[in-house]
Amino acid sequence: MPLPSQIYQCRCSPPAGSTDVNRLGSVDAVTSAPRVRRLKSPSDPECASDPLCCAAIGDAILGQTDAERLSNVLKALADPGRLRLLSLIRAAPAGEVCVGDLVDALDLSQPTVSHHLRILTDAGLLDRERRGNWVWYAANDARLTEVRDLLH
């Protein structure tokens, strides 16, 4: 069997029609597209002309501020009760739900539901509006899109 460097001749991506991608790479869990391992390091002189090889590791797309914000959101989503709350709110026909309806739907106590809603609201995933004695919640679609884009 030829070595990877003999197959790809110092290229970071395989030639068209190559069948060795599965052996040498992995599959992206989100897109199911093959990921090809880089065969040259950025310090290799032959790699200087190939932008795929020369991507500096320090040029991460996700900066420190974005990483901290995303971490807070992911912490908020890391609870099954909060995920269920967000799912119920997003599935609501009017796009918003009264807190009293959420308590009944989840079979959780009112203080527990309020706690989870506060965490989701603080993370920017929900919008909150008080109407008289009741509080209504709606998903913040702009923030959810932002989070999805950062993960993509």
Mean pLDDT within 114-140: 93
Q: Which of 26-40, 63-77, 78-92 has the weakest average pLDDT?
A: 26-40
Task: Provide CB contacts within 8 A for 108, sequence distance 6+.
Answer: 81, 116
- Which of 34, 32, 31, 33 is CA-nearest to residue 22? 34
- DSSP H stretches of helix in 2-63: 4-8, 21-24
At the top level of CATH, which class does the domain 65-151 belong to? mainly alpha
Task: Provide CB contacts within 8 A for 42, sequence distance 6+.
Answer: 53, 54, 55, 56, 57
Long-range CB pairs of 124-128, under 8 A, 24+ apart, other chains included: 124/73, 125/73, 125/76, 125/77, 125/86, 126/86, 126/89
Q: Give the residue extent of every domain in the chain.
A: 4-49, 65-151
Tell me the one-letter amino acid at 137: Y
- Kindly report, residue by residue over 47-77, the tens digit of the pLDDT: 666 655 555 555 557 778 878 888 889 999 9
Quick one: tokens of 39? Answer: 């065969």
- 69 C-beta neighbours (distance < 10 Å), count: 18
Q: Give the pTM.
A: 0.60
Is 136 within 8 Å of 128 (Cβ atoms)? yes
